[in-house]
Amino acid sequence: MINSITQALTTAPLWLQAPIVFAVVLPLCVTLAVVLVRSTDAVGRLFASWYSRRGIGEDTGNH
């Protein structure tokens, strides 16, 4: 099945290939970007809470 799809896509003219590829690639990249940003935010929140519990980075007033 995949082979027939790729054969049909590679034999299609470029004006037809480009919109088909973009219709698949753009939503896939947007989804992966959202996952990456949200996971980065979650890790950042975990580290921020860990640092705040440990008192790291707080100004103690002792200079």
In a domain, 24, yes or no: yes
**Count: domains in the chain:** 1
Q: Is 44 among the domain residues?
A: yes
State residue 45 phi and psi, 5-degree precision.
-65, -40
* Structure confidence by residue, pLDDT tens digits, 6-54: 898 889 999 999 999 899 999 999 999 999 999 999 999 999 888 888 7
Distance CA 42, CA 53 (A): 17
Residue found under tokens 């705040």 = 52
- Which comes out higher in pLDDT, residue 7 or 1? 7
pLDDT at 61 over 90: no
Q: Which domain holds residue 39?
A: 20-51
Residue 14 lies in a domain: no
Q: What is the pTM of this model?
A: 0.63
